[in-house]
Structure 1
């Protein structure tokens, strides 16, 4: 039997890259999946690929009214939630000393505020044993040059998971962080120049970049009952980069 049969999942930022791969993996494992994104065209393309078992909702995770609309759609169509993947995030390469206030506001609004309210507003819909997965990054502990602010937002995400784990007993959920290493996606190409991506392979013990599908496999483990005693943890899927 598929490991997510009869489960209902939300994947924010699910129209491309890692989020799309997670949505695909969840669908393949039997889940009913809701995905979000800010661009309707990209969401429509994702649904055309994934099929009718996936519902798309235009939603900016940094806008609480959009999250209210998302969860009202889930309530109406499914009635409950078993898995929430707070994956929506952005990154900006900003040279040290040239950081603008607007860039800080945008990064923290999406990556931190968005994560907080994606989880908080899901609470009334969660069934006992629900799995909350926050997409972090190895940049939380090993940010590359010019990615210090982005890394700070992901460090905040890791801290949120540690804090929220204290509420597991009261609310009946598990919460963990999925921390990818360098994975070629459209978002990464906008963030890290191609030559830097190629050079980075020398720092990865496995000698290669990861794939969205490898990150999605780890997310599926965290979403499934196989990880039922995993809570407050960070699962690094980085080829060993930040582990040695």
Structure 2
């Protein structure tokens, strides 16, 4: 961790005392990094994921203020069970980070119907019903943050179906922001660009992953990958500090979608 990152962490000490937060897809990547930021700031955080071993590791690292629940957002029965567990653990929520999602690198010509359906079942349907099931537990003044992607505005090869699923989330952010206004709930989106979470290494052959990363860095205006902590701070801002902002999409992408 750099000195700047340590200073940023120091400013959050005690900032989230008494706050209850749910993060789907919180056992790895910037879901986990956001959980760590909030727990370090005093929040109680419930994270979800589909792999028990990864959840157990995350729970151990986060400490006693974290709860880890195995849950698949593509399963409505899992989401019903999650809502029940959240009500049991917390009663009410102050923030919800809808972050669970999957990526698939596949040329348009060879994309299968099954792969397409899986992307939308997790990324779009899963996110939509996560908000629906947990919205009744969100207190007035709370914030929902949905993870979209710069892919929803950039024509990037190999991820057309993924990009479409994230564009659906951008639309949902606006619609849900309007529909939840009467409850005093804000809904915004964080739109990460190339962030070094290790997902490329896990989802592609090593040589292809290295070539893809080099190309992404070369094409980015800031000439680097983002750090998961930079996304986490943006999520925390949207969830708690952006009190006069709703329906917005906040790009954390080194300028890739802006300049």
Q: In the alignment, which residue of structure 1 is the partner of 2:105?
A: 93
Deviations 1:30-81 (A, max 9, x none): 2110000001110000011110100000000010111111121111111011
Q: Does 1:193 align with 2:205?
A: no
1:74-153 residue pairs with structure 2 within 5 A?
Answer: 74-153=86-165
Q: In the alignment, which residue of structure 1 is the partner of 2:73?
A: 61
List alignment gaps of at least 5 residues for structure 1: none
Q: Does 1:232 align with 2:247?
A: yes
TM-score w.r.t. length of structure 2: 0.91
Q: In the alignment, which residue of structure 1 is the partner of 2:195?
A: 183
Deviations 1:88-124 (A, max 9, x none): 0001011121110100110000000000011000111
Secondary structure of the residue aligned to 2:26 is coil
Looking at structure 1, the residues matched to 89 and 218 of structure 2 have their Cα atoms a distance apart, in angstroms, of 47
Q: In the alignment, which residue of structure 2 is the partner of 1:162?
A: 174
Secondary structure of the residue aligned to 1:91 is coil
Q: CA RMSD in A?
A: 1.2
Looking at structure 2, the residues matched to 153 and 238 of structure 1 have their Cα atoms a distance apart, in angstroms, of 18
Looking at structure 2, the residues matched to 139 and 171 of structure 1 have their Cα atoms a distance apart, in angstroms, of 31
Looking at structure 1, the residues matched to 79 and 21 of structure 2 have their Cα atoms a distance apart, in angstroms, of 14
Residue number among 210, 213, 216 corresponding to 2:232 in the alignment: 216
C-alpha displacement at 1:200, in angstroms? 1.4
Q: In the alignment, which residue of structure 2 is the partner of 1:37?
A: 49
Secondary structure of the residue aligned to 2:95 is strand
C-alpha displacement at 1:188, in angstroms? 3.0
Secondary structure of the residue aligned to 2:108 is coil
Deviations 1:148-200 (A, max 9, x none): 11000000000000111212331210000000001122323215722111121
TM-score w.r.t. length of structure 1: 0.96
Higher deviation after alignment, 170-179 or 197-206: 197-206
Q: In the alignment, which residue of structure 2 is the partner of 1:241?
A: 256
Looking at structure 1, the residues matched to 180 and 74 of structure 2 have their Cα atoms a distance apart, in angstroms, of 24
C-alpha displacement at 1:204, in angstroms? 1.3
Residue number among 216, 219, 222 corresponding to 1:206 in the alignment: 222
Looking at structure 1, the residues matched to 115 and 134 of structure 2 have their Cα atoms a distance apart, in angstroms, of 27
Secondary structure of the residue aligned to 1:85 is strand
- Would you identify which runs of 4 or more consecutive aligned residues in structure 1 move more than 6 Å? none
C-alpha displacement at 1:7, in angstroms? 1.1
C-alpha displacement at 1:143, in angstroms? 3.8
Secondary structure of the residue aligned to 1:105 is helix
